[in-house]
């Protein structure tokens, strides 16, 4: 098995996401950094920091040269960053030393790498947002379609009171709506340009103008300062993605329980099989959602720890980011695609839901009976009486309705769905708003 399961030829279809993984490939990293180097030279040429003809040559070459990142390993192992190897390879590929000498003028490796990452994260966030929109729309449709479909609510694994399947869907979807807003608010499409120690001292007083011009060229925002050690923007995105993964994991957990033998309240399209048990229809998709959620919590903690950057730049903290940031983004993208597939293929079994609510002696009506009885006696006494009858149901097997009719003839329980249908429809309206 490869060190990363996302890179495995065996497991790629289960956990991977080709569209987003491509943004974190070595070739994508190199291409983004070349674009940054080209845009930097173009801006510096216009401002007179480097010769204009050299700037134009560098800019054109940055779009045309092909550089193989496989040759960077030895130098990166020595330097701790790939940019020196990239700059050397770029200069060699240009075959024009009179122009190549002006590559990377006044910048530092972290400027190029962080800005290149900003370009790639911008694309990743756009992909994720589109998938969020699709998932929210599908969950909204399900919530509306099943707003009035009764099912048993369960707390601590036990029957509680009736709810609706649409309300359950809404409980999956509302956090996704909020996570979408948090992801959009995370400020990661930001240019980084600070020079060796964040002071832009090598740019002859034109550093702020260069940074603003670079941001404009690349379609990024200009923070107005160097932010080498200020990782809160990326941290906000990672926190939002981990939160999203946890919420999608809750959807997975619920689906695992709803499809288990003896419950059978939801049928999934494309359930997995067993190598030895022909009857099995394993909830593979929901299990992947749960696994990705648990994994993201672990690596998310590592990313939070990486936010502790010492002094003006910190290699150890930065290296940790490299290890875990791509994993979180890929996991979020995969979970979203999988959650939408599940939402499109799942089917509630209304008959099973009704059957389960009546099972267990009708104990799901206990709360309703206790409030109905409280109109005849103090609430504590009513609750104690119904609790005693529930124990009798368990011991005797006689349904609760029969015992209530025996002891309190004419007393009726209200097994309505309360606000569940309204909550389902409210979410559906918000999802489609």
**What does the block give as tokens for 122?**
């911008």
Which three-class secondary structure state does DSSP give residue 131?
Answer: helix
Map tokens 């009546």 to a residue. Answer: 358
**What does the block give as tokens for 169?**
């869907």
Question: Cα(first)–Cα(last) distance of the chain, in Å?
Answer: 45
**What does the block give as tokens for 69?**
């990142």
Closest C-alpha to 139, from 116, 111, 172, 114: 172
Phi, psi of 151 (to 5 degrees): -155, 165
Out of 138, 174, 217, 313, which one is annotated catalytic?
313
274 noted as active-site residue? yes
Out of 27, 274, 359, 396, which one is annotated catalytic?
274
H or E element that contains 347: strand 347-348
The answer to whether 340 and 128 are in contact (CB under 8 A) is no
Contacts 24+ apart (CB under 8 A), 349-355: 349/264, 349/265, 349/266, 349/267, 350/149, 352/263, 352/264, 352/265, 353/149, 353/150, 353/151, 353/152, 353/165, 353/265, 354/150
Q: Is the dihedral of CA 125, 131, 132, 137 positive or negative?
A: positive
313 noted as active-site residue? yes
Would you name the residues annotated as active-site residues? Answer: 274, 313
């Amino acid at each position: 098995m490869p060190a990363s399961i996302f890179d495995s030829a065996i497991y790629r279809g289960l956990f991977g996401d080709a569209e987003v993984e491509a943004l974190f490939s070595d070739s994508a990293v190199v291409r983004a950094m070349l674009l940054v180097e080209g845009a930097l030279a173009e801006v510096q040429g216009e401002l007179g920091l480097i010769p204009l003809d050299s700037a134009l040559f560098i800019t054109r070459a940055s779009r045309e040269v092909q550089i193989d990142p496989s040759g960077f390993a030895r130098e990166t192992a020595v330097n701790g960053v790939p940019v020196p190897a990239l700059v050397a390879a770029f200069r060699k590929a240009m075959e024009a030393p009179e122009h190549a000498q002006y590559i990377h003028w006044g910048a530092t490796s972290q400027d190029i790498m962080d800005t290149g990452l900003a370009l790639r994260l911008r694309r990743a966030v756009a992909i994720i947002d589109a998938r969020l929109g699709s998932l929210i729309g599908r969950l909204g449709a399900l919530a509306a379609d099943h707003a009035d479909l009764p099912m048993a609510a369960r707390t601590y694994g036990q029957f509680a009171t009736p709810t609706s399947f649409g309300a359950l869907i809404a409980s999956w979807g509302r956090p996704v709506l909020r996570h979408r807003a948090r992801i959009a608010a995370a400020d990661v499409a930001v240019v980084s340009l600070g020079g060796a120690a964040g002071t832009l001292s090598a740019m002859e007083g034109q550093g702020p103008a260069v940074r603003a011009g670079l941001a404009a060229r690349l379609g990024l925002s200009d923070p107005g300062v160097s932010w080498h050690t200020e990782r809160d923007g990326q941290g906000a995105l990672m926190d939002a993605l981990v939160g999203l993964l946890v919420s999608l994991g809750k959807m997975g957990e619920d689906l695992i329980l709803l499809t288990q033998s003896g419950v059978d309240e939801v049928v999934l399209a494309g359930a997995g099989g067993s190598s030895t048990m022909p009857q099995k229809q394993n909830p593979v998709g929901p299990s992947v959602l749960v696994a990705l959620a648990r994994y993201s919590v672990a690596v998310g903690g590592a990313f939070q720890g990486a936010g502790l950057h010492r002094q003006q730049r910190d290699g150890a903290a930065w290296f940790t980011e490299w290890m875990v940031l791509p994993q979180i983004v890929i996991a979020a993208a995969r979970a979203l695609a999988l959650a939408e597939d599940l939402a499109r293929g799942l089917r509630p079994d209304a008959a099973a839901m009704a059957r389960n609510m009546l099972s267990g002696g009708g104990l799901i009506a206990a709360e309703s009976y206790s409030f109905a009885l409280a109109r005849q006696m103090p609430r504590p006494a009513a609750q104690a009486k119904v609790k005693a009858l529930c124990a009798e149901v368990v011991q005797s097997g006689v349904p609760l309705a029969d015992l209530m009719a025996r002891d309190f003839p004419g007393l009726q329980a209200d097994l309505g769905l309360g606000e569940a249908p309204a909550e389902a429809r409210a979410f559906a309206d918000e999802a489609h708003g």
